Structure 1
Amino acid sequence: MTNTGPVLVVTMVDDPTADLVISELHDRNVPVVRLDSGDFPATLSVAATITSPRGIAGTVTTPTRSADLSAVRSLYYRRPSGFAFTHLDEQDARFALTQARYGLGGVLAALPSCLYVNHPHRIGDAEFKPAGLTTAVAAGLRVPPTLITSEPDAVRDFIKTHGPTIYKPLSNPVYRIDDVPCSVKVDEVTPDQVDDRIRGTAHLFQRRVDKVADVRVTVIGHRAFYIRIDSGLLDWRTDYERLTYSVVAPPAGVADGLRRYMNHFGLVFGAFDFAIGADGTWWFLECNPSGQWAWMEPHTGLPMVAAMADLLERKR
Structure 2
Amino acid sequence: MTRDDARPVAVVTNDDDPTADFVIAELHGRGVPVVRLDSGHFPATLSCSAHIGGGTARWRGSLATPTRVAELDGVRALYYRRPSGFAFPHLDDQDARFAAAQARYGLGGVLVSLPDCLYVNHPHRIGDAGFVLPPTLITNRPDDARAFVKEHGPVIYKPLATPLYLVDGQAQTVRVDEVAEDEIDDGIAGTMHLLQARVDKVADVRVTVIGEHVFAVRIDSGLLDWRTDYTTHTYTPVDVPPAVERAMFAYLRHFGLVFGAFDFTLSADGTWTFIECNPSGQWAWMEPPTGLPMTAALADLLERGTHDRN
* Alpha-carbon distance in 1 for matches of 2:46, 2:165: 28
The answer (yes or no) to whether the contact 2:8–2:32 under 8 Å persists in 1 is yes
Q: Tell me whether 1:293 sits opposite 2:283 in the alignment.
A: yes
Which residue pairs with 1:61 in the alignment?
64
Q: Is the deviation greater in 83-92 or in 262-271?
A: 83-92
Equivalent of residue 36 in structure 2, options 29, 34, 37:
34
Mapping 1:185-196, distance limit 5 Å: 185-196=175-186
Distance 2:69 2:237 in 1: 40
Structure 2: which 5+ residue stretches go unaligned? Answer: none
Residue by residue, what CA displacement relative to the aligned partner does 1:218-237 show, whole Å, maximum 9, x if unpaired?
11111111000000000000
Match of 2:48 in 1: 46
Is 58-67 or 223-232 further displaced after alignment? Answer: 58-67
Alpha-carbon distance in structure 2 between the residues aligned to 1:287 and 1:50: 35
CA shift, 1:198, in A, is 3.2
Amino acid at match of 1:187: D
Other structure's SS at 1:280 match: coil
Partner residue of 2:103?
A: 100
Q: Which runs of 5+ in 1 are unaligned?
A: 134-142
Task: Report the more deviating stretch, 207-216 or 45-54.
Answer: 45-54
Q: TM-score, normalised by structure 2?
A: 0.91
The normalised TM-score by structure 1 is 0.90
Q: Partner of 1:3 in structure 2?
A: 4
Give the percent of matched residue pairs that are identical in Structure 1 and Structure 2: 66
RMSD: 1.9
Partner AA of 1:190 in structure 2: A
Cα shift at 1:120: 0.9
Residue among 173, 176, 190 paired with 1:183:
173
In structure 2, the CA distance between the partners of 1:89 and 1:156, relative to structure 1 (3 Å rule), is closer
Residue aligning to 2:155: 165
In the TM superposition, what whole-angstrom CA distance separates every residue of 1:28-56 from its partner, at most 9, and x where no partner exists? 11111111111111111111110233510
Measured against aligned partners, the alpha-carbon deviations of 1:213-266 in whole angstroms (never above 9, x if no partner) come to 000011111111100000000000000111110000112310011011111211
Does structure 1 retain, via aligned residues, the 8 Å contact 2:86–2:100?
yes
* Native 8 Å contact 2:173 2:228 kept in 1: no
- Identify the residue that residue 308 of structure 1 maps to in structure 2: 298
Deviation at residue 61 of structure 1 after TM alignment: 1.1
Equivalent positions of 1:71-220 (< 5 A) are 71-126=74-129, 129=130, 132-133=131-132, 143-220=133-210
Q: SS of the counterpart of 2:209?
A: strand
Q: Counterpart of 1:268?
A: 258
Asked if 2 retains the 8 angstrom alpha-carbon contact of 1:173 and 1:183, the reply is: no
- Cα contact 1:44–1:60 (8 A) shared by 2: yes
- Give the 3 Å change call, closer, same or farther, for CA 89–119 of structure 1 in structure 2: same
Please list the CA deviations of residues 124-177 of structure 1 after superposition, one character each: whole Å capped at 9, or x if unmatched.
222xx5xx23xxxxxxxxx22222233444344433433321111222344444
- Give the Cα–Cα distance (whole angstroms) in 2 for the partners of residues 90 and 199 of structure 1: 25
Deviation at 1:102, TM superposition (A): 1.0
- Give the Cα separation in 1 of the matches to 2:168 and 2:73: 46
Amino acid aligned to 2:98: F
Alpha-carbon distance in 2 for matches of 1:304, 1:122: 22
How far, CA to CA, are the matches of 1:240 and 1:156 in structure 2? 32
3-state secondary structure, aligned to 1:144? coil
CA shift, 1:212, in A, is: 0.2
Query: Separation in 2 of the partners of 1:27 and 1:181?
Result: 30
* SS class of match (2:4): coil
In structure 2, the CA distance between the partners of 1:196 and 1:96, relative to structure 1 (3 Å rule), is closer
**Distance (whole Å) between structure 2 residues aligned to residue 95 and residue 286 of structure 1:** 34
Q: Would you say the 8 A contact 1:272–1:288 is kept in 2?
A: yes
Contact 2:80 2:119 in 1 (8 A): yes
